[in-house]
Amino acid sequence: MNREIVLDTETTGLSPAMGDKLVEIGCVELINHIPSGRHYHVYLNPQRSMPEEAFRVHGLSEEFLADKPLFKAVAGDFLDFIGDATLIIHNAPFDMGFLNAELERAGHRPLANTVIDTVMLAREKHPGARVSLDALCKHYGIDNSRRTLHGALLDSEILAEVYLELIGGKQVSLALIAETRISGAEAIATRTVVAPRPTPLPSRLTADEELAHERLVATLGAESIWAQYADVAGPLRATQ
C-alpha cells in the first residue's frame, strides 16, 4: 500500500526564525494515489499578533484563533496522522521549515518523512510556465472557484488533484489498480472505501441493458468476480 499525505499550512508570516507561527494545518490522505476520504485539519493559536499582510492571505484573525489549541497540544495527533507517509507539499521548504520549528519547540524531533515538492514537479513537467497552485489549476482545468482566500484543508484538496495530474492524471489510478497484489473480493472492497465523485457520472446504460447484464451475471456462479462485486456494492436486482 502506497500512503501519501497532501499537506498545506497557513502562518502568521514568512519566517519561523523571526517568530512567525503556524495557524492552520490541513492534510488529505491518498492511498495508492486515490483520495481515501480521511483528512486532518486544525486551527492553531500562535500566541502572537496577526500581521495585516498575513490576514489578507488567509483571513484568520487573532480573535478567531484565540481559543484554538497550541501546536504542542495537537502535535501528537498530527504525527500519528501523517505517520511515515510520503508528504506532498507545494513549495515544501516553506511548510517543512514551519512544521519542524514548531515540532522542535514542542520537544519533538524534526520530520524524517520523504517529501515530494509539487513546485519542483511542475517545473520539471512545464519548464518556463507559472507553477503557482492557481496557475496549475487553470492549466489542468481544476475548479478552484472556492479559493477566494487561502485555507490549508481546501488547498490540500486542490493540491491533491493537481498532484495526480502532474504524475500522470487519471491513468495513474487505473495502472495502480492493475498492479494490486490482492485478489478477488478483497481488492474490490479496498477500492470501495475511496471518496465518491462530488457529482456522480450519469449511466450510459439503458434499463434493458442493465437487466440483460444482471441475468448474465446470475449464470456465472457465486465464485465469479461479478458476483463478488455485487456482494460489496449491493445485491443484484431480482431477474425475471
Give, rounded to a whole angstrom, the gap between the first and last alpha carbons of the chain.
42
Cβ contact 1:12 at 8 Å: no
150 catalytic? Reply is yes
Q: Which of 33, 39, 150, 213 is catalytic?
A: 150
C-alpha closest to that of 193 among 56, 47, 32, 78: 32
Indicate the length of the chain as a whole number.
Answer: 240
Cβ contact 110:103 at 8 Å: yes
Three-class SS of residue 9? Answer: strand
C-alpha closest to that of 167 among 37, 36, 30: 30
Number of Cβ within a 10 Å radius of residue 42: 20
Three-class SS of residue 4? Answer: strand
Q: Which residues touch 70 (CB under 8 Å, ≥6 apart)?
A: 44, 45, 47
Distance CA 49, CA 42 (A): 19
The DSSP bridge pattern shows strands 34-43 and 86-89 to be unpaired
Cβ contact 151:10 at 8 Å: yes
Nearest 5°: the CA angle 154, 171, 231 is 85
List residues with catalytic annotation.
150
